Structure 1
Amino acid sequence: MGLKTLWNAHVVPRMIKCACGAPGIAELRGGIVPQAKGRVFELGCGGGLNQPFYDPARVTAFAGIDPSGKLLDYAREAAALKGWQADIREGIGEQIPFADNSFDTAVCTYTLCSVDDPAKVLSELRRILRPGGTLLFLEHGLSDEGGVARWQRRIEPLWKPLMGGCHLTRAVTAPVRAAGFQVDRSDHKYMDGMPKWAAWMEWGAAVKPA
């Protein structure tokens, strides 16, 4: 097993769990995840970092996928602590292993930055949502300030291999619209206490047209 494989299998999951569990990011999760209701699917559920924010009174069923076996261990532990049944599987967003129109809500947090094909992933999320279903998204990405964006492009080639393929320069809300969702609510800001090149956050709710 090569160094890159060892790094991605053992070091990156721990780094992601630590970074994505920071207090400021947890606060943003707390504003998005509790909106989930009905049959809920979470893309990139590994780490279980969203689990504390789901409202069991609103969620009737929960499923999720993640490509990292180590992060899936964390997710299953978090689901067990919550005390609910959860269908948590290994998988990738480009091939979500669930049928069309299966879910009322899809949740995607800090995941689109690292998938191979964001457009395909968003197409898959649209496919598995029922007509009128909601995509809740929260991601970091490309700043709308030209100077910051230039630094993101410079740093990204060094950042990606250290962080498991995470991109700094992907747009967030515009691709959601391009995938055929109607964006009902969206917002953005720089996260306090982080360098601007890593701090641009966007979040919102988008509906699959009926």
Structure 2
Amino acid sequence: MGLRSLYDAHIMPRLVTCACSQGAILKRRSQIVPLASGKVFELGCGGGLNQQFYDKANISQFSGIDPHEKLLDGAREAAQVNGWDVDIKSGVGEDIPFADGTFDSVVCTYTLCSVDDPAQVMREMRRILKPGGQLLFLEHGRAPDHSVAKWQDRIEPIWRPLAGGCHLTRPISSALRGAGFDVEPLGQSYLAKTPKPMGWMEWGIARKAGF
């Protein structure tokens, strides 16, 4: 195994998990994840970082996918401790292995930045939602301030391979609207004590348009 493969397989997932579990980010998770209910699907569930924030009594079934097999064991263990009916698989967001209209809630936190085809992933999340279902999102992406966005453009080519394919320049709410969601913003801000090019956050509820 070469250095690059070693980094991607063993080091990068741990670094990303550590970065995504800092206090300020956990606080944001605690504001959006408890809104999930019913049959829940979590995109990028590896590591189980969100599990502590679910309202356990409101969840009848928990499913999820993640491409990093080494992170899935922790997610499975945490979900089973909660006593849920669990179906967690290895997979990618561009091809979610669940049927149309299966879930009441889809949870997506700090995941759209690193998928290969965000538009396809959004279509897939919309597809697996029941009519009237909700996508709960918490993502970082392109900043609204031009000066910050320019730095994001400059930094991204260096940042992306070090951070597991994470993009800094992807729009969030506008992209969800373009994918057929009605978006109810719950908040947006720069993350405190974080360089602004890496710190623009948006979170809210996206519902299937037309329902």
Structure 2 length-normalised TM: 0.96
Query: Which amino acid is 1:41 matched to?
Result: F
Q: Secondary structure at the match of 1:143?
A: coil
The Cα of 1:152 is off from its aligned counterpart by: 0.8
Q: Which residue number in structure 2 is paired with residue 16 of structure 1?
A: 16
CA contact (8 A) 2:40 2:105 kept: yes
The Cα of 1:3 is off from its aligned counterpart by: 1.7
Q: d(CA) in 1 for partners of 2:61 and 2:81?
A: 16
CA contact (8 A) 1:160 1:167 kept: yes
> What does 1:1-210 align with in structure 2 at a 5 Å threshold?
1-208=1-208, 209-210=210-211
Per-residue CA deviations over 1:89-139 (Å, capped at 9, x if unaligned) read 000000000000000000000000000000000000000001110000000
CA contact (8 A) 1:106 1:125 kept: yes
Per-residue CA deviations over 1:15-68 (Å, capped at 9, x if unaligned) read 111000001000000000000011000000011000001111111111000000
Q: d(CA) in 2 for partners of 1:100 and 1:159?
A: 35
What is the aligned length? 210
| Most deviating of 89-98 and 3-12 | 3-12
Q: d(CA) in 2 for partners of 1:84 and 1:123?
A: 27
The Cα of 1:85 is off from its aligned counterpart by: 3.1
Per-residue CA deviations over 1:150-199 (Å, capped at 9, x if unaligned) read 11111111111111100011111111100101112342100111111111
Q: d(CA) in 2 for partners of 1:12 and 1:75?
A: 18
Q: d(CA) in 2 for partners of 1:184 and 1:153?
A: 27
Query: Which amino acid is 2:56 matched to?
Result: P
The Cα of 1:6 is off from its aligned counterpart by: 1.2
- Percent of residue pairs bearing the same amino acid type: 59
Q: d(CA) in 1 for partners of 2:169 and 2:184?
A: 24
Q: d(CA) in 2 for partners of 1:15 and 1:70?
A: 13
Q: Secondary structure at the match of 2:188?
A: strand
Q: d(CA) in 1 for partners of 2:39 and 2:28?
A: 22
| Most deviating of 1-10 and 42-51 | 1-10
Q: d(CA) in 2 for partners of 1:73 and 1:168?
A: 29
Q: d(CA) in 1 for partners of 2:47 and 2:111?
A: 12
Q: Secondary structure at the match of 1:5?
A: helix
Q: Secondary structure at the match of 1:164?
A: coil
CA RMSD of aligned residues (A): 1.0
| Most deviating of 86-95 and 72-81 | 72-81
Q: d(CA) in 2 for partners of 1:77 and 1:155?
A: 37
